[in-house]
Structure formats: structure tokens, C-alpha cells
Amino acid sequence: MGSSILTLLFSVFLINVSFAADPYFQFDCANNGNFSANSTYGTNLDSLFSQLTSDEVFNYGFYNISIGESTDQVNAIGLCRADKKEDTCRRCLNDTISELQQRCPNYKEAIGWSEFCTLHYSSQAIYGVMETDPFKILVSGNVSDVNAFNQALSSLLSNLSSRAAAEGALRKYAANSTMGLDVFTRIYALVQCTPDLSQSECSDCLATAIGRIGSFSIARTGCRILQPSCNLRYETSPFFEAVDDIPQPSSPPPPSTEGNGNNTTRTIIISVVASIVGVLLLVLCIWIFLRRRKPKETIEIADKEEVIKAESLQYDFATVRAATNNFSDENKLGQGGFGAVYKFK
């Protein structure tokens, strides 16, 4: 009997220790049906949890997994706080899974919020769906000058919301600080959406969260608004770390030259021919230039008396025969290309 009581007390102690592992942990077991032990849905959920914690792709702390088909399909979204490293993210998701398995056994849908991560699983599609309910609010501390504090806080959260919503598809997160009531007080805040939301959806989700501050946490120095698709937190002491920049896509590699040998050869030939033609044109231009600069030859015309007209050298046949003594051999000088050559007397 005594040993049974000790065993029971020890079990309760372990459960309490487990539940108190993260003082910020909050959860909601959705009224969306239940599954029985050893069911296909339960098997798929276990497989999903195993895959979620063993996935080698960090993906900047955002996970989207679906396993199964039809009514046995399980969908899950995991989101880690953007300023946390991969090992912290995985530990947080593991702890959140353990918490939900104990607090929401056999529920087809549940959501758990830990300090550094959020885990939401459901039998319904949840990826790309903006949800602001259910929600949880945690508050701490009191503010002396409510108006001054709220004015500084409102400006800070508005700026962070715009920045986070404008981020890309890998991360939607922003964090910063501003002066609070005086130079000795600062307000630190962060906002984050699941990156599957569009810019307008993220803005709407955060606007709903900011609106809930005025309804539930007026005059508080610290507050956490937890919603399925987004969350925010502010404190008067630092609680977040610097975030690594998301690397920009590298420049595309130069186009491959494989299989373009003919094009390369053709390009070389065209270049050589163009060079030769250019040289020839240059030489031609120089030659024309020098040709034009050469002085023209001066042709001197003799006096009219010295010019022998062509008609004065023409004789009729009778005159030639008489002058050569009827083409006598005594007057023959030789033989030319057109016949015998004679001298005149």
C-alpha cells in the first residue's frame, strides 16, 4: 500500500516537473474530434512527430508537414522564434510535442505555445490559412504612466508589424526596442508570423494581436499575445537576440558552352575575316590618299611648227612605187613585221 502511494506521488511529481519545464507554455486542445488508440490517425500523428523532430532541413525554423490521406490525414505547422538556433528550435519542438501528448491525448487538433516555438497540428488544412483563434495572453508588471508607455509601445509595434509583414517567404519576423517612460526605460518587442501567410494576412493577424493588448493588458510592462498564425511579445528588459540575415540567392552561373562548338568556331572565323577586311580597307584608304597628293605630270606642247600632222605622213601608192623605183631591191632596207621596208629617193 505504501509503495503504491509513493509510486503515485512520484508519477504526479514527474508530470508536474514536465509541465513546469517551460513556464511560458500554453496550449489549446481544439474541439475538432478525437481519435482512438492504435488508429490510423494516431499512427500518422506519431509518424509526423517523428519526422518533425528528425527533419534535417532547418528552413529557418519553419516546418510544414502532412501525412496520411482523407480523414486520416494529419497536418502540422511548426514555427521557431527567428532569433533561436537550430538546436534550440529542435529542443523546443520536442518539448512541445511531449506537452501536447500529455495534455491533449487523442485530440485530432491541438496547438502548443512555448517560449521559443509554436506547434499546431490538425486533421484540417492549416497551411496558408490565417488564424487568430484560439489565443492566449500572458501579462506581467504595471506601468506608472499609461499614456506615455502606450504611445511609445504603439509606435514600436506598428513599425515592427510593417517590417515583419514585408519579409519574404522564408521568414516574417521583426524585433527592436524604443525609449519607454524616460531615458532609463526601454521597451523591447518582437512580432512574428508564420511565413506561409501573405503580406496582408500577416498584417491583419498582427493587427488583431495588437488590438487585444488594449483589451486585456492595459498598463502592463510585459505581455505575450499568442495566436495560431502570429504572436507578439514586449518587455521592459531585453529578451531577444540578434538575427542572422537570410542569404540572398547567388548570381546565376554563366551559360554552359557545352555543345556550342560550331557557334564558337563561327564566331572566331567572323572575327578574323572582319579584321582582315578592316586592314585592307585601311591600306586602300592610305593608297588613295597618297595617290591624290602626287603632283600631276605637266605635258608640254611643242610649237605648232614642230607638230607633224598625221595626214602629212600619208602617200598614195603611185608615189611610193616611184620613190622606191618600183620596189627595187636596191632600195630595200630589210624585212619588217608587216612586209619589206624600202627607202625613199
Task: Judge whether residue 294 has pLDDT over 60.
Answer: no
pLDDT digits (tens, 9 = 90+) for 108-121: 999 999 999 999 99
Architecture label for domain 18-122: 2-Layer Sandwich (3.30)
pLDDT digits (tens, 9 = 90+) for 197-217: 999 999 999 999 999 998 876
Confidence of residue 12 (pLDDT cuts 50, 70, 90): very low
List the one residue out of 54, 64, 74, 252 whose CA is nearest residue 170: 64
Q: pTM score, two decimals?
A: 0.67
Task: Judge whether residue 259 has pLDDT over 60.
Answer: no
List the one residue out of 146, 116, 125, 141 whose CA is nearest residue 23: 116
Average pLDDT, the chain: 82
pLDDT digits (tens, 9 = 90+) for 218-232: 779 999 999 999 999
- Identify residue 202 by its one-letter amino acid code: C
Report percent pLDDT > 90 for the chain: 55
**The domain 136-235: what is its CATH number?**
3.30.430.20
Task: Please list, residue by residue across 156-166, b when 16 or more beta carbons sit within 10 angstroms of its beta carbon and e when fewer do.
Answer: bbeebbeebbe
Domain boundaries, the chain: 18-122, 136-235, 314-345
Confidence of residue 271 (pLDDT cuts 50, 70, 90): confident
Whether 18-122 and 136-235 share one fold: the answer is: yes
Over range 80-86, report the average pLDDT: 95
pLDDT for residue 336: 65
Report percent pLDDT > 70 for the chain: 77
Which helix (H) or strand (E) is 121 found in, with range? Answer: strand 117-122
Confidence of residue 310 (pLDDT cuts 50, 70, 90): very low
List the one residue out of 127, 114, 267 whose CA is nearest residue 194: 127
pLDDT for residue 196: 97
- Identify residue 264 by its one-letter amino acid code: T
Over range 71-86, report the average pLDDT: 96
Please give the Cα distance from 164 to 209 (Å, whole number). Answer: 14
